[in-house]
Amino acid sequence: MNILVAYATRHGSTAGIAERIAATLTAADLPAEARPVGDVDGVDQYDAVIIGGAAYMYHWLKDATSFARRHQKELRERPVWLFSSGPLGTDLVDKEGRDVLKEGRPKEFDELIDLLQTRGEQVFFGAWDPDAPPVGLTERMMQHLPGAKDAMPAGDFRDWSAIDAWATQIAAGLKARV
């Protein structure tokens, strides 16, 4: 079995999650590779695919969504999972009592779950370095707003044990199919 973990990332946090998922699957005797969605021409050589993308303002990065739509026919023929990274901080519940990870779910997931007949989805906490060079027009504009650097918690909030547990769950599901 050969598994692709395709990802779209802006600052590298999602790439780190994808690499960790691929490493966990490989350690479970399921060869996997993490690759940026822009470097993947097709998915025919893979038996299963996990697609990840960073989420900003409740939307998955367009590269991840475009990849899923572009390869929808092939993806529907194999097991597919989706993941997203984005919420920042360590609080699982916000001030209004809502689950932060559920609230951080990209709006595109509903369409993609139907389109690809996915096996599962997961939202993970992300990371943010306020001193990283801005990517894109919005980040460049935000950089100049007073207090913008303090508007979001800075740091690496990725929960590696949650990421490992999800990848282990996927591995168990794939092994049960064989």
Give the list of residues 6+ apart from residue 125 with CB closer than 8 angstroms, or none.
85, 86, 87, 88, 89, 90, 101, 157, 158, 159
One pLDDT digit (tens) per residue for the chain, 178 residues? 999 999 999 878 999 999 999 999 999 999 999 999 999 999 999 999 999 999 988 899 999 999 999 999 999 999 999 999 988 888 889 889 999 899 899 999 999 999 999 999 999 998 876 666 555 655 445 555 565 555 566 778 899 999 999 999 999 999 987 6
Tens of pLDDT, residues 14-56: 999 999 999 999 999 999 999 999 999 999 999 999 999 999 8
Calculate the alpha carbon distances from 27 to 24, 171, 173 in Å.
5, 10, 15
Which domains occur in the chain, in start order?
3-177 (3.40.50.360)
